[in-house]
Structure 1
Amino acid sequence: MLDDFFVRALLAGIGVALTAGPLGCFVVWRRMAYFGDTMAHAGLLGVALSLVLQVAPVFGVFVVAATIAGALLLLDRRGALSTDALLGLLSHGTLAVGLVLVALMTWVRIDLTALLFGDVLAVGVTDIALIWAGGAVVLAGLFWFWRPLLADTVHPDLAAAEGMHPERARAVLMLLMALVIAVAMKVVGVLLITSLLIIPAAAARRLAATPEAMAVLAALTGVLAVVLGLFASLQWDTPSGPSIVVAAILLFGAGLALPALRLGR
């Protein structure tokens, strides 16, 4: 019989995986891995500011991640620096500022390791409700904007010519990523969130024949990684967040050994 804390961890991890998998497909297709890292690193700054302002950490992380995404889009349009230079500046800058603010808040007891690498075994019922509610919003947004997002990913100019408003689709994608990062932080931490977006999607890419099949397969791969990682963590007393990521990497390696099945053809 599984303990209550482990069941809660499974529910939280599965909720994040079901959301991160389909969204991660766009991260892989658009080659936005570094962008995801930048938004995730900004999450620590969001936690620090939420503690200062005494608001919910999920809200603080979402607002800061969305703000960083908007700032990156504006700076990228000005062309003062290359995109990768801007990403590096914002990624490391926000992470450093967040760490400094956390260190300065001596009146608050903060588990920095849990923030950086996650602590899914400590989630409560409220955390699970936030994860599943946020995941439902993300999946609904992906379903509603699937065609514009896909068209903008394949050919932005053609998407604009067909009146699909690619700029609006990109803004929606940024907001959805910010929301996933906000709800997933407690599961895998700010340093590992992007791995749960990228690895399941990358594992599903060569096995799916259509974008829709890849999204479903990425979600299932993420769920399997969560289950295997948590049971491995329970068995060998390893950190839960990194164990989930290791399980996802092993599934990716196993997928490379399989023939390209092209599911959903």
Structure 2
Amino acid sequence: MLDDFMTRASLAGIGVALAAAPLGCFVVWRRMAYFGDATAHAAILGVALSLALQLSIFVGAIVVALIMALTVTALAGRGYAMDTLLGVLAHSALAFGLVAVSFLSGIRIDLMAYLFGDILAVSRSDLLVIWGGATLVVALIAWRWSPLLTATLNEELAYASGIDPRREQLILTVALAITVAVAIKVVGVLLIAAMLIIPAAAARSLARTPEAMALIAAVIGTISAVAGLRAAYFLDTPAGPSIVCVAAVLFAALSAVNWRNRAGT
């Protein structure tokens, strides 16, 4: 069964969708879209360092993504607006990563695969990494769901309930770094933020509870991954961008339906 490259690709896409769904909800609720983008951009520097040091791509990507996320958290509120800080760090990390890759002599690297994903080349070992990381992210979010939700809704309420919002932010940061690391192979660093944000944003108009929103986002992400792969196969288009295109179409359709329902009431 796993000898079929489309089966492996579908499983990889579903794994990333399941990891990105609950995390993407918190990204939307906390308005952290650019934060996720900055963390993803930093991952290309991790790829370059991994290749230079002959380490696992997953290890390099997760370490650098985590360092970037922690750096942004530490520097926030120290004289720079958050969007300015994220813009500087995101594009600087991407640029340094691309320059670092150019210095890797004797190593063949498909840069487009890391920028936009190469889901059709996913191997069995890649599947183990993707599903292992997805399981860890889902378990982490499920374990801290209530404290994370409280800290997201109101920091003062969180403190009153004995919850440290900074600790919950750190947990989200770790989960985000893991998701970025496992998603590189599927959609690439430039499209990871889209898989975090678009399914969650699409689910928002359908959900009545936070839990329902996370579940619906997972369903939308899964449909996007499978349908996007099929579209890429039949239309001969890039797989990663095709997955994001399907997610965007679903978001537009659901938003239109929601707008029509509101207009009719």
Q: TM-score range by the shorter chain?
A: over 0.9
Q: CA deviation at 1:259?
A: 3.9
Report if aligned partners of 2:20, 2:195 keep a CA contact under 8 Å in 1: yes
Distance 2:135 2:160 in 1: 31
Moved over 4 A (4+): none
1:176-226 CA-partner distances (Å, limit 9, x unpaired): 000000000000000000000000000000100000000000000000001
Identify the residue that residue 203 of structure 2 maps to in structure 1. 204
Structure 1: segments with no counterpart, 5+ residues: none
**Secondary structure at the counterpart of residue 258 of structure 1:** helix
**Secondary structure at the counterpart of residue 96 of structure 1:** helix
Identify the residue that residue 33 of structure 2 maps to in structure 1. 33
Q: Is 2:244 aligned against 1:248?
A: no
**Secondary structure at the counterpart of residue 13 of structure 2:** helix
Q: Is 2:17 aligned against 1:11?
A: no
Identify the residue that residue 156 of structure 2 maps to in structure 1. 157
Identify the residue that residue 59 of structure 1 maps to in structure 2. 59
Instruction: State the number of aligned residues.
Output: 260
Distance 1:165 1:177 in 2: 19
Q: CA deviation at 1:2?
A: 10
Q: CA deviation at 1:257?
A: 2.6
Identify the residue that residue 105 of structure 1 maps to in structure 2. 104
TM-score of the superposition, structure 2-length normalised? 0.95
Moved more, 79-88 or 4-13: 79-88
Report if aligned partners of 2:2, 2:8 keep a CA contact under 8 Å in 1: no
Q: 1:228 is matched by which residue type in structure 2?
A: A
Identify the residue that residue 81 of structure 1 maps to in structure 2. 80
Cα root mean square deviation, aligned: 1.5
Distance 2:145 2:21 in 1: 14
Q: CA deviation at 1:54?
A: 1.2
Distance 1:62 1:189 in 2: 14
**Secondary structure at the counterpart of residue 110 of structure 1:** coil
Identify the residue that residue 47 of structure 2 maps to in structure 1. 47
Q: 2:13 is matched by which residue type in structure 1?
A: G
Identify the residue that residue 92 of structure 2 maps to in structure 1. 93
Distance 1:2 1:141 in 2: 28
TM-score of the superposition, structure 1-length normalised? 0.95
**Secondary structure at the counterpart of residue 106 of structure 2:** coil
Q: CA deviation at 1:80?
A: 2.3
**Secondary structure at the counterpart of residue 76 of structure 2:** helix
Question: For residues 116-127 of structure 1, what are the structure 2 equivalents within 5 Å?
Answer: 116-127=115-126
Report if aligned partners of 2:122, 2:185 keep a CA contact under 8 Å in 1: yes
**Secondary structure at the counterpart of residue 73 of structure 2:** helix
Distance 1:158 1:140 in 2: 24
| Cα 1:124–1:111 shift into 2, 3 Å | same
Identify the residue that residue 70 of structure 1 maps to in structure 2. 70
Q: 2:103 is matched by which residue type in structure 1?
A: L
Q: CA deviation at 1:147?
A: 0.8
